[in-house]
Chain A
Amino acid sequence: MDRFSPLLILAAIVIVGVWAWDVHTQLAPPPANLSGELREINGTPLDSVTAYRENSIHGSPAVEIAAYQLAVGGDVARPLNYSYGQVLGEFSHESRVVTLSCVEGWDETSLFEGVPVIDLLEASNVSPDATTVIFAALDGYTTSLPLAVVRDCRLLLAYRVNNLTLPRSLGYPFILVAEDRWGYKWCRWVTGITASTDSKYRGFWESRGYTNDGAVNRSFFGP
């Protein structure tokens, strides 16, 4: 025991130092409101875009918006590619206050504005045989949801949050607002929307043990 004491004490000091830095970071006051950010709507408080934790699989990718293309394809009659401007200009917009619940334990509520994903799919004449919608991101991330959920809930492909252009950390140019689904269903930096008949498709986290359903009122572990 005595032989290791200095090493133990040194290790303890290092741990305390890193921990103190972590405490300082976690307890630091939130950054001031971003200019123009909405923090309340109709009496409902909105969490700042700065409150969301960065937990992407490879860090936030930078999207060159002039070259950006959103591909809508798979089991559709007319596969189409859209520029950022075309998505914003050619489809109806909807706004909704939605809570993102992360499997890490935190949740944040914000006002999201976007285009219903089902409108994009219907513009491509989605096949009646399609059961699943697979979302792909610029960083290689994928996830999926049943087409019925995308249709019935009119899930949004959002480009604005709290009246701000979607920040890079939240998925600029587009994030899937997967209402009532765990955060791993909220695909960020979306580049592809694919209709599929493969209802057993498993995305990035789903293939690592999270549920394919992703319903926020149930455990996220399972088939």
Chain B
Amino acid sequence: MTPRRALALALLAVSLLLLLTGFGITHHEIVGPLTLGLLDKATAQLVHTLLWGPFAVLLLLHCGRNL
């Protein structure tokens, strides 16, 4: 796997996790059971608020490599 592809996949994974944890905050009654209780509202809030760093770095590097 090329570094460029690895970077893109990592960004995709973090983006999806951002989406999931976002829904875990606003729709916790759905996401909680769907994740077998793994992602309750408080956990979703914590993960969501901490993901901005990895997301920003990956997005920056991804755009930098591809623009």
Contact = CB atoms under 8 A, between A and B. Distances in A.
A15 B58 CA distance: 11
Contact of B57 (A5, A16, A23, A105): A16
Nearest to A106: B45
Contact of A26 (B44, B50, B54, B56): B50
B10 to A, nearest CB: 13
Given A26-B46, A105-B26, A1 B56 contact: no
B57 A12 contact: yes
Contacts of A105: 25-26, 41, 44-45, 48
Given A105-B41, A105-B44, A11 B60 contact: yes
A8 B65 CA distance: 10
Interface SS of chain A = helix
B65 A22 contact: no
Interface string B6-48: 0000000000000000000110000000000000011011101
A11 B67 CA distance: 16
Contacts of A23: 50, 53
B56 A15 contact: yes
Contacts of A11: 60
Interface residues of A, number: 17
Given A26-B46, A105-B41, A105-B44, A18 B64 contact: no
Counting chain B residues whose Cβ lies within 8 A of the other chain, the interface size class is: 20 to 34
A20 B50 CA distance: 9
Interface string A2-39: 00110010011001101110110010000000000000
A23 B54 CA distance: 11
Nearest to A12: B57
A23 B50 CA distance: 6
Given A105-B26, A105-B41, A5 B53 contact: no
A109 to B, nearest CB: 12
A15 B53 contact: yes
A18 B53 contact: yes
A11 B45 CA distance: 26
A15 B64 contact: no
Contact of B64 (A4, A19, A26): A4
Interface of B: 25-26, 41-42, 44-46, 48-50, 52-54, 56-57, 60-61, 64-65, 67
Closest 3 interchain pairs by CB? A19-B53, A105-B25, A8-B64
11 contacts: A1-B65, A12-B60, A12-B61, A19-B50, A19-B53, A20-B53, A22-B50, A22-B52, A105-B45, A106-B45, A107-B41
Interface of A: 1, 4-5, 8, 11-12, 15-16, 18-20, 22-23, 26, 105-107
